[in-house]
A and B are shown apart, each in its own frame.
Chain A
């Protein structure tokens, strides 16, 4: 019987997706991509109006008023897709970014994206002297809807097979290099989140996952929410999405490792 199973799996085509095919992909996440050429002041205003979580908002990072798109707040509702300037993103480059790296700015007068250097919020140095090739992750649910859990669990299926990168999910924060935290941090979970953080050995790499992890998402204003996460513990990187797809999660986790490696080289 068991041989049937083995035979069946050996016969199956090799479906493991190469990392190059996954990195930066965002299909099925419903995160918006912006075509700045189609952007007008009126469309920018309407995008701000229809967005339920103020992911689209007017901003003035410099002297000029711009349209800001904060992926950390976006729940992928798709309301903005009714305007031609916005479409579902196929690629997303800011998974695993710093908080400032989640935000893009658009100049609706000149129909162009504006590059604003994110604050030099680089990853902390001490992390990287420790993280080499293997990475132990402790997933911590701080009151999520379980959408993020479903996608994180999917990382271990044969398509993504996270273990091939030397990345493992471990059962205790005491074994973890990284805390992968989902959910808006409910009041009822606040103490458990702090205790889990305290139980994690230094350097405690903390990654906030999903719209809830990044900003509180749709629950940001609830009476029962004590978060977002950054209010309770220091956060090193963010992975947006509601929920982030396995490709986005993988991109984010590997991006954190890449930043680490860069830091290590430069030190």
Chain B
């Protein structure tokens, strides 16, 4: 996003971040980097009006935790502790996050080279709810379906969930460290493996960050191809999610129908781009190929029409309404405190969408509808997804109409040192990549994933519901475990 200011505040970045957050800015990310002999922490905040700001803070001792004033910082700061050995004062929950029991406490993988690490057995304390009749239910990391790994610890009284604690990061793969030393032209391959079903959004966010850092302008045709890929990915995700929600309330026929429509779009991708997931398409500087417009137009139109009809059938069904309505309410104030993003935030009345707030690529100059609802329940999240899929279909259609022969790749200049960031609206919400490097190689890449941001909001939507509604509420969030755990 070359148009956005990336302001540096030399001295206390943490103090400036605190000031901005107290004045109503949204926390986007907090991350560390080893630079020279020291560690630097960067705060990314979204200031209403001016936009994203990156604030740097050198670590010279314990840092004051931002979590008491910005609860959204809680997991980021715990990650800093685990990864970079940054000490925090005043953090309300300083337990380890990424590194599980098997990691010795003195190991901090991003702070130093990791030698073979001995297996440890460090105890982890769950928070317990005590009292007569309170039971704990432990679920995961291996779940009962074709799902990613994660652990949910419920404290229940009868059917009612009193408290839910998440324990994730079973899929932690050390991805951010893999970028270090990787040539810029290969980084998107790692980005594509962060969250498989959103792999194109990850690849585009990475490429845009590199392009912003190197001052490259991507040809218009390549920007259109990226928009087409991003919106098809969103359609595929939302159609699959709405079908899965229907399945979770035992209305299986529309679920099968939606899975068929979703597969039609993936087959169309395979025909048009030779890849079901748009892998290998986005590369720094542009895209590797452009689709045949007419074939994709037909496929997208048919999928959008069929899905719209099926969505009506799902939402009209009283048994569906009875389960969706009022289930898993995420209150707007909670969503704001936790800086929730994506469809989850929009279903709780927060109008936030990177395509609208910080337009990039072919989204610049577009009039974009941002569907939003205030109820914050499963029904609202389903309806937001249904409306967004329709918007996406229109965007794909318009972009396909504008496709024309022309260059789809720009030359990447060699820069001695580069640093930049970029955000895209992935199907799950704001996805930001921050890159730094020199001489064609990356020295650090940070991924702000929407799932990392939204997972802490899930327990607030679940508590007070019956435990039997958990799969439905969880599905309505549909967060990525791998994207969160990286």
> Known: A146-B480, A147-B277, A223-B114. Is A5-B193 also a contact (CB below 8 A)?
no
Q: Would you call A234 an interface residue if the criterion is a C-beta within 8 Å of the partner chain's C-beta atoms?
A: no
Which of B4-12, B169-177, B456-464 binds A? B169-177
Residues on B with beta carbons closer than 8 Å to the beta carbon of A156: 259
B257 & A5 in contact (Cβ 8 Å cutoff): yes
Name B278-293 residues within 8 Å CB distance of A.
279-280, 288
- Within 8 Å by CB of B257, from A8, A145, A184, lies A8
Per-position contact with B for A1-43: 1 when CB-CB < 8 Å, else 0?
A: 1101110110000010000000000011110000000000000
Shortest Cβ distance from A187 into B: residue? B102
> Known: A141-B149, A169-B146, A245-B276. Is A147-B199 also a contact (CB below 8 A)?
yes
B482 & A28 in contact (Cβ 8 Å cutoff): no
Residues on B with beta carbons closer than 8 Å to the beta carbon of A154: 259, 262-263, 266
Name A75-119 residues within 8 Å CB distance of B.
75-78, 88
B260 & A158 in contact (Cβ 8 Å cutoff): yes
Report the separation of the CA atoms of residues A27 and B276 in the bound assembly, to the nearest whole angstrom. Answer: 9
Residues on A with beta carbons closer than 8 Å to the beta carbon of B174: 219, 222-225
Q: Would you call B127 an interface residue if the criterion is a C-beta within 8 Å of the partner chain's C-beta atoms?
A: no
- Within 8 Å by CB of A224, from B109, B148, B196, B317, lies B109
A171 & B149 in contact (Cβ 8 Å cutoff): no
- Within 8 Å by CB of A150, from B142, B171, B178, B197, lies B197
B257 & A221 in contact (Cβ 8 Å cutoff): no
Report the separation of the CA atoms of residues A155 and B149 in the bound assembly, to the nearest whole angstrom. Answer: 20
Query: Which of B173, B178, B263, B480 has the most C-beta atoms of chain A within 10 angstroms of its own C-beta?
Result: B173
Per-position contact with A for B258-271: 1 when CB-CB < 8 Å, else 0?
A: 01101100110110
Residues on B with beta carbons closer than 8 Å to the beta carbon of A224: 109, 172-174
Report the separation of the CA atoms of residues A144 and B189 in the bound assembly, to the nearest whole angstrom. Answer: 15
B196 & A146 in contact (Cβ 8 Å cutoff): yes
A145 & B256 in contact (Cβ 8 Å cutoff): no
B196 & A5 in contact (Cβ 8 Å cutoff): no
A186 & B193 in contact (Cβ 8 Å cutoff): no
How distant is A134 from chain B, measured CB to nearest CB, in Å? 18
Residues on B with beta carbons closer than 8 Å to the beta carbon of A147: 193, 196-197, 199, 277
Interface bracket on A: 35 or more
- Within 8 Å by CB of B189, from A8, A15, A52, A158, lies A52
Q: Would you call A243 an interface residue if the criterion is a C-beta within 8 Å of the partner chain's C-beta atoms?
A: yes
Residues on B with beta carbons closer than 8 Å to the beta carbon of A4: 313
Report the separation of the CA atoms of residues A9 and B259 in the bound assembly, to the nearest whole angstrom. Answer: 13
Residues on B with beta carbons closer than 8 Å to the beta carbon of A223: 109, 114, 117, 174, 177
How distant is B257 from chain A, measured CB to nearest CB, in Å? 7
> Known: A8-B257, A27-B270. Is A183-B171 also a contact (CB below 8 A)?
yes
Per-position contact with A for B285-314: 1 when CB-CB < 8 Å, else 0?
A: 000100000000000000000000110010
Q: Would you call A230 an interface residue if the criterion is a C-beta within 8 Å of the partner chain's C-beta atoms?
A: no
Residues on B with beta carbons closer than 8 Å to the beta carbon of A165: none
> Known: A30-B279, A77-B280, A196-B142. Is A146-B148 also a contact (CB below 8 A)?
yes
Query: Which of A142, A154, A186 has the most C-beta atoms of chain B within 10 angstroms of its own C-beta?
Result: A186
A190 & B173 in contact (Cβ 8 Å cutoff): no
Report the separation of the CA atoms of residues A235 and B253 in the bound assembly, to the nearest whole angstrom. Answer: 37
Residues on B with beta carbons closer than 8 Å to the beta carbon of A149: 146-148, 196
A144 & B175 in contact (Cβ 8 Å cutoff): no
Report the separation of the CA atoms of residues A29 and B277 in the bound assembly, to the nearest whole angstrom. Answer: 9
Q: Would you call A46 an interface residue if the criterion is a C-beta within 8 Å of the partner chain's C-beta atoms?
A: no
Per-position contact with A for B442-486: 1 when CB-CB < 8 Å, else 0?
A: 000000000000000000000000000000000000001111010
Q: Would you call B103 an interface residue if the criterion is a C-beta within 8 Å of the partner chain's C-beta atoms?
A: yes
Q: Would you call A189 an interface residue if the criterion is a C-beta within 8 Å of the partner chain's C-beta atoms?
A: yes
Q: Would you call B226 an interface residue if the criterion is a C-beta within 8 Å of the partner chain's C-beta atoms?
A: no
Shortest Cβ distance from A145 into B: residue? B196
Report the separation of the CA atoms of residues A173 and B141 in the bound assembly, to the nearest whole angstrom. Answer: 13
Residues on B with beta carbons closer than 8 Å to the beta carbon of A186: 170-173
> Known: A1-B313, A223-B114. Is A28-B274 also a contact (CB below 8 A)?
yes
Residues on B with beta carbons closer than 8 Å to the beta carbon of A245: 270, 276
> Known: A146-B148, A219-B175. Is A76-B193 also a contact (CB below 8 A)?
no
B262 & A76 in contact (Cβ 8 Å cutoff): no
Residues on A with beta carbons closer than 8 Å to the beta carbon of B171: 141, 143-144, 183, 186, 188-189
- Within 8 Å by CB of A158, from B256, B276, B280, lies B256
Name B139-177 residues within 8 Å CB distance of A.
141-142, 144-149, 169-175, 177
> Known: A183-B171, A187-B103, A222-B173. Is A145-B270 also a contact (CB below 8 A)?
no
> Known: A150-B196, A154-B259. Is A189-B253 also a contact (CB below 8 A)?
no
How distant is A120 from chain B, measured CB to nearest CB, in Å? 33
Report the separation of the CA atoms of residues A108 and B177 in the bound assembly, to the nearest whole angstrom. Answer: 36
Q: Would you call B190 an interface residue if the criterion is a C-beta within 8 Å of the partner chain's C-beta atoms?
A: yes
14 A-B pairs besides A9-B253, A29-B276, A188-B172 with CB distance below 8 A are: A5-B257, A30-B280, A139-B146, A143-B170, A145-B194, A146-B195, A147-B197, A158-B256, A173-B142, A186-B170, A218-B193, A224-B109, A224-B174, A245-B270
- Name A's B-contacting residues (CB within 8 A): 1-2, 4-6, 8-9, 15, 27-30, 52, 75-78, 88, 139-154, 156-159, 169, 171-173, 183-184, 186-192, 196, 217-219, 221-225, 242-243, 245
A to B CB contacts below 8 Å, 23 in the list: A2-B253, A5-B313, A9-B253, A27-B270, A28-B269, A52-B189, A141-B149, A141-B171, A142-B149, A145-B196, A146-B197, A146-B481, A147-B193, A147-B199, A150-B196, A158-B260, A188-B172, A192-B142, A218-B178, A219-B174, A222-B173, A242-B193, A243-B196
Minimum-distance CB pairs A-B, first 6: A147-B196, A28-B270, A224-B174, A171-B144, A157-B259, A222-B174
- Name B's A-contacting residues (CB within 8 A): 100, 102-103, 109, 114, 117, 141-142, 144-149, 169-175, 177-178, 186, 189-190, 193-197, 199, 253-254, 256-257, 259-260, 262-263, 266-267, 269-270, 274-277, 279-280, 288, 309-310, 313, 316-317, 480-483, 485
